[in-house]
């Protein structure tokens, strides 16, 4: 679950960083004291969002290199599961 969350959180953080950068531009024109705070938050969020996107990209690239697909995560052997549920691992469930 965390793998997909990195991508979405990174995108959300970059969008928020852009919004704070726009706020910085509007406040610096008006010479408000909050402009510096908006710039600092935009820089921090942009860096964190970029890091999360980079980690998601690297993990996806590594999985593709290993030949891992999302279907592999949901593979199970039905006979093996039946043996485990019956409580007798030697029994052939069929």
Is the full-model pTM beyond 0.75?
no
What is the Cα–Cα distance from 12 to 33, expressed in whole angstroms?
26
Structural tokens at position 39: 């710039």
d(CA 47, CA 53): 10
Give the pLDDT confidence of 65-85 residue by residue, as tens digits.
887 666 555 666 677 767 777
Integer angstrom CA distances of residue 89 from 60, 81, 82, 85, 86: 36, 10, 9, 9, 8
pLDDT in tens, 7-66: 899 999 999 999 999 999 999 888 888 888 999 999 999 999 999 999 989 988 888 888
The residue extents of the domains of the chain are 2-70
Burial code (b: 16+ CB inside 10 Å, e: under 16) for 45-84 equals bbebbeebbeebeeeeeeeeeeeeeeeeeeeeeeeeeebe
């Amino acid at each position: 679950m965390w793998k997909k969350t990195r991508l979405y959180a990174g995108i959300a953080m970059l969008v928020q960083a852009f919004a704070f950068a726009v706020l910085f531009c509007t406040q610096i024109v008006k010479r408000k004291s909050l402009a510096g705070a908006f710039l600092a938050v935009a820089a921090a969020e942009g860096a964190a969002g970029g890091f999360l996107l980079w980690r998601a990209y690297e993990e996806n690239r590594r999985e593709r290199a290993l030949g891992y697909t999302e279907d592999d995560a949901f593979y199970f052997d039905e006979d093996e599961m039946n043996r485990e549920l019956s409580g007798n691992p030697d029994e052939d469930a069929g």
